Structure 1
Amino acid sequence: MKSCSTALFAAGLLAQYATAHSIFQQAGSGSTDFDTKCTRMPPSNSPVTSVTSADMTCNVGGSKGVAGFCEVNAGDEFTVEMHAQPNDRSCDKEAIGGNHFGPVMVYMSKVDDASATDASGASWFKVDEFGYDAASKTWGTDKLNANCGKRSFKIPSKIPAGDYLVRAEAIALHTAGQSGGAQFYMSCYQVKIAGGEGGQLPAGVKIPGAYSATDPGILVDIWGNGFSEYTIPGPAVIDQSYF
């Protein structure tokens, strides 16, 4: 009877975690709601779990472009939006629940044609992040849940105009105490940026390639008694002089 109860408990826990999976889906800028117009939508809300997988770039199927673009100006605010189920933007449901605590990050990459590139070999620079605030015990994913799945950031003002991919990512760390336990949720958005002050692009990283499975922000026990601070994986956010 005990083993049966344990099995049922484990099954219930797995079901809870499964329903807590999520997708970055919609986008907006100011009063403009782009919905999923420029999103390379993943086929499901399941995570990527291997940091060396090509799916780390723009998720499963994300190497294929879509017809739409989100058109903004350099310096504009841009908002990415995460929800658990496709086309369900209900604010009474958590954007990513089930104790899927972790950081939220946003990267950008300049490309020749955002609707055509497969993004392999792209150079990505980080424009936004929120990891963990120990004083309030708040994670980046908590911020998403409190704001109806939305995370807003500023498009850098001092970058060249043209086509970009915007890559939004959340990492769920509820089972990250074991190797391969971290869950990566990301989507890429096809964005056309007008204006800007030109200049050089910030230095970037390759994805996959920017993360290691043993990085302290990826292999980490967030439930341990000694946990008090968190190291966000990947590069630092670009210098403020770009904004």
Structure 2
Amino acid sequence: MKSSTPALFAAGLLAQHAAAHSIFQQASSGSTDFDTLCTRMPPNNSPVTSVTSGDMTCNVGGTKGVSGFCEVNAGDEFTVEMHAQPGDRSCANEAIGGNHFGPVLIYMSKVDDASTADGSGDWFKVDEFGYDASTKTWGTDKLNENCGKRTFKIPSHIPAGDYLVRAEAIALHTANQPGGAQFYMSCYQVRISGGEGGQLPAGVKIPGAYSANDPGILVDIWGNDFNEYVIPGPPVIDSSYF
């Protein structure tokens, strides 16, 4: 990931931006491939760059629902899938390329009706992968290694019903300047059955969970002294929910 000539490398990154943009698109659970049935698809693969924008919730146009639901059971594994171009699920292509290194985060929000909810409720984090300094591996590297897929567990100890699942990747290749971080997210409409009920975890508002000056958002990942990354937002909910 490192470069001995950061200035030249950064200049090269600028030329790769458009080709490296990406979208969270498909979903699956176990042997069930939902494709884009429950995905609130963004209009294009461009990022959101303002942490205070309403587009941070579910991307551009993402506060409007779609007709489909992904139906799963509490405790099931759920997989979100990112690819650079709409409909392209080829594993031969990087999920998000162009040195768009950064974390991958998954949030959930309990809603009355996932097909109409605007995402203005509370969100709790259920999964994340930031940076492994020992292997110099980012969450986005993991996506690329796994054909764009990130799998997490639906919590077992939450109420049944409708939820929005928010999958997000943050590209940090130009995050050494304010507004340089790029946020790629999509929301999925998920209906959860079964489980052992319980109370919802404490949540945060999105936008509202991030600040432009957070150390995981305003950060120089190309500096020679970079060896630790602080993932933005709240921590993953307590293991007792799973």
Name the TM tier (shorter chain): over 0.9
Q: CA deviation at 1:158?
A: 0.3
Structure 1: give runs of 5+ residues left out of the alignment: 1-8
* Counterpart residue type for residue 157 of structure 1: S
Change (3 A) 1:114 1:169: same
Partners of 2:153 and 2:11 in 1: how far apart?
42
Residue 119 of structure 1 corresponds to which residue in structure 2? 119
Change (3 A) 1:231 1:175: same
Residue 98 of structure 1 corresponds to which residue in structure 2? 98
Residue 58 of structure 2 corresponds to which residue in structure 1? 58
Matching of residues 31-180 of structure 1 within 5 Å: 31-120=31-120, 122-180=121-179
Partners of 2:58 and 2:16 in 1: how far apart?
25
Residue 219 of structure 1 corresponds to which residue in structure 2? 218
Q: CA deviation at 1:14?
A: 3.1
Partners of 2:210 and 2:69 in 1: how far apart?
28
Q: CA deviation at 1:196?
A: 1.4
Q: CA deviation at 1:117?
A: 1.1
Write out per-residue CA displacement over residues 56-104 of structure 1, whole angstroms, 9 at most, x where no aligned residue: 0000000100000000000000000000000000100000000000000
The 8 Å contact of residues 16 and 98 in structure 2, kept in 1 or not, is answered as: yes
Write out per-residue CA displacement over residues 170-225 of structure 1, whole angstroms, 9 at most, x where no aligned residue: 00000000000000000000000000111110000000000000000000000001
Greater C-alpha radius of gyration: 1
Change (3 A) 1:10 1:215: closer
Structure 2: give runs of 5+ residues left out of the alignment: 1-8
What secondary structure sits across from 2:219 in the alignment?
coil
* Counterpart residue type for residue 63 of structure 1: T
The 8 Å contact of residues 84 and 96 in structure 2, kept in 1 or not, is answered as: yes
What secondary structure sits across from 1:142 in the alignment?
helix
Residue 234 of structure 1 corresponds to which residue in structure 2? 233
Partners of 1:151 and 1:11 in 2: how far apart?
30
Partners of 1:135 and 1:196 in 2: how far apart?
37
* Counterpart residue type for residue 84 of structure 2: A
What secondary structure sits across from 2:167 in the alignment?
strand
* Counterpart residue type for residue 177 of structure 1: N
What secondary structure sits across from 2:16 in the alignment?
helix
CA RMSD of aligned residues (A): 1.2
Q: CA deviation at 1:15?
A: 3.7
Q: CA deviation at 1:11?
A: 8.6
Partners of 1:172 and 1:76 in 2: how far apart?
28
Partners of 1:20 and 1:135 in 2: how far apart?
26
Write out per-residue CA displacement over residues 153-173 of structure 1, whole angstroms, 9 at most, x where no aligned residue: 000000000000000000000
Partners of 1:30 and 1:175 in 2: how far apart?
36
What secondary structure sits across from 2:18 in the alignment?
helix
What secondary structure sits across from 2:55 in the alignment?
helix
Q: CA deviation at 1:12?
A: 6.6
Partners of 2:168 and 2:44 in 1: how far apart?
15
The 8 Å contact of residues 13 and 99 in structure 2, kept in 1 or not, is answered as: no
Partners of 2:58 and 2:145 in 1: how far apart?
25
Partners of 1:151 and 1:77 in 2: how far apart?
10
Partners of 1:207 and 1:216 in 2: how far apart?
18
Q: CA deviation at 1:119?
A: 1.4
Residue 29 of structure 1 corresponds to which residue in structure 2? 29
Aligned length: 234
